[in-house]
Amino acid sequence: MSDNEQTANHYTKQWSSDLNFRSFVQQNAEAAKAMPSRQLPWAELFERIRKQASERTTSVYDAACGFGDILNQLAATPVPAKLEYVGADIHGALDTIDRYGVATLLKHDITRELPTRQPFDFVICRAAIHHTPDPRATFDTLVRQLAPGGTIAITAYAKKAPMREAVDDALRAAIIPMPNDEAFATANQLTALGRDLQRTKGQITIEQDLPFLGIKAGSYDVQTFIYNHFIKCWHNPAFSEQHCDLVNFDWYHPPFAFRYERDELREWAASCGLEIIKEASTEAQHYMECRSPR
C-alpha cells in the first residue's frame, strides 16, 4: 500500500458509520469543545463566510473535508443562499456526509489542484495539511487555487517538547505499520493511560522555566503535565471510550503527521506573497489565516 492509500485507508475507518464520530460531534456540542478545532478561531471565520454567502456568491474549497464537520457549520440552518462549497478528501466514507443541497464532494488528493472550477474566495485546510507527504508543497498548491483577494486558513500540528516529540516518533513508528484494527486496539492503551493519569490526584509544580526541555514554570495536574511534555494519551470523560480511542488512533496511526513551529508556517505564507491576517496557537496546533493580493 502506498502512503497515500494508507492515509485513505486509515480515515475510511476513522470516519466510518461504525464509529459514528460525526453524529457524536453533532449531538454533543459541549463535549466537542475539547477538540483542538473548537479552541482556535475557526468559528469566527465560518461566521464571516456565512454572512458573505448570504449576501453574494461565495465559493469555498474545504481541502481534506474529513467527516463534514466544517460543512455542517457553514451550512447550518439557515443555509446561506449563495454558498458554493466544494469539499475534497481521499477517504472512502464521503457518502456519510450530509450535502445540505449545496455541497459538491469529491474524492480527490489535495496535493493536486482540483479538476473542477476555481479559483475560490476561501480555501480551508483544517488539521490535514500535516498528513500530506510534503505539506509546504500542498500549501503552495492550495494557494494557487485562491482568487485574488481570497482567504486561505489552515491549522497544522505544533511542535511539542523534545521528550514528547521523541515519544511521538517512536510510538508512531511502531503503530503506523499496524493494520487499522490492531492500531485501533492499541490506541485503547493510550486512552487507558490518560484515564488513569486523570484520576491521579495532586499537582506537579515546576518552579522555573526549563526552556531546553520545553517546560514552562507552573502547576499542572498529572495528566496535563505528562500529556503536554512526554506522551499523548488522550482521554475525556465526556467522550465514549471508543471515541477516545479514535482520537489516539488519529494521532498515532496516519503515515504522516508533521509538526511545525509558528515561524515555519509564516515562511510558507511569505514565500507565496500572502498577508497573514490572523494567527493563534494552542499546545496542539497553529492556526494561520492569510489573504492573497488583489
13, 53, 89, 265: which one binds ligand SAM (CB under 6 A)? 89
Q: Does position 187 bind ligand SAM by CB under 6 A?
A: no
36, 66, 194, 255: which one binds ligand SAM (CB under 6 A)? 66
> Would you list the DSSP string of 1-26?
--HHHHHHHHHHHHTSTTT-HHHHHH
Q: Residue 146 or residue 197: which is nearer to ligand SAM going by CB?
A: 146
Span interacting with ligand SAM, options 128-136, 141-149, 214-222, 279-287, rule CB under 6 A = 128-136
For residues 80 and 48, the answer to whether their CB atoms sit within 8 Å is no
Q: Residue 226 or residue 246: which is nearer to ligand SAM going by CB?
A: 246
Burial status of residue 263 (CB atoms within 10 A of its CB: 0-12, 13-18, 19 or more): exposed
Q: Does position 127 bind ligand SAM by CB under 6 A?
A: yes
* 210-229 footprint of ligand SAM as x/- string (CB under 6 A): --------------------
d(CA 16, CA 89): 14
Q: Does position 126 bind ligand SAM by CB under 6 A?
A: yes
Q: Residue 109 or residue 264: which is nearer to ligand SAM going by CB?
A: 109
Instruction: Provide the Cα torsion 62, 66, 69, 72; round to 10°.
Output: 60
Q: Does position 232 bind ligand SAM by CB under 6 A?
A: no
Q: Rounded to the nearest whole angstrom, what is the least distance from the CB of residue 227 to ligand SAM in the complex? A: 18
For residues 222 and 204, the answer to whether their CB atoms sit within 8 Å is yes
Terminal Cα-to-Cα distance of the chain (whole angstroms):
42
Q: Residue 132 or residue 186: which is nearer to ligand SAM going by CB?
A: 132
Span interacting with ligand SAM, options 48-56, 63-71, 94-102, 271-279, rule CB under 6 A = 63-71
* 250-289 footprint of ligand SAM as x/- string (CB under 6 A): x---------------------------------------
Count how many residues are written for the chain.
294
Q: DSSP state, 266?
A: H
Give residue number: closest CB to ligand SAM: 66
Q: Checking DSSP bridges between strand 285-291 and strand 275-281, what pairing results, if any?
A: antiparallel
22, 50, 131, 229: which one binds ligand SAM (CB under 6 A)? 131
Q: Does position 69 bind ligand SAM by CB under 6 A?
A: yes
Q: Does position 142 bind ligand SAM by CB under 6 A?
A: no
Angle at 74 between CA 234 and CA 51, to 5 degrees: 130
Which residue has 526549563 as its cell numbers?
210
Q: Does position 91 bind ligand SAM by CB under 6 A?
A: yes
The half-sphere exposure of 74 on its side-chain side, counting CA atoms within 13 A, is 32
Burial status of residue 207 (CB atoms within 10 A of its CB: 0-12, 13-18, 19 or more): exposed
Query: Phi first, then psi: what are they for 133, rounded to 5°?
Result: -65, -30
Which residues between 25 and 44 bind ligand SAM (CB under 6 A)?
37
Q: Does position 9 bind ligand SAM by CB under 6 A?
A: no
Q: Does position 110 bind ligand SAM by CB under 6 A?
A: yes
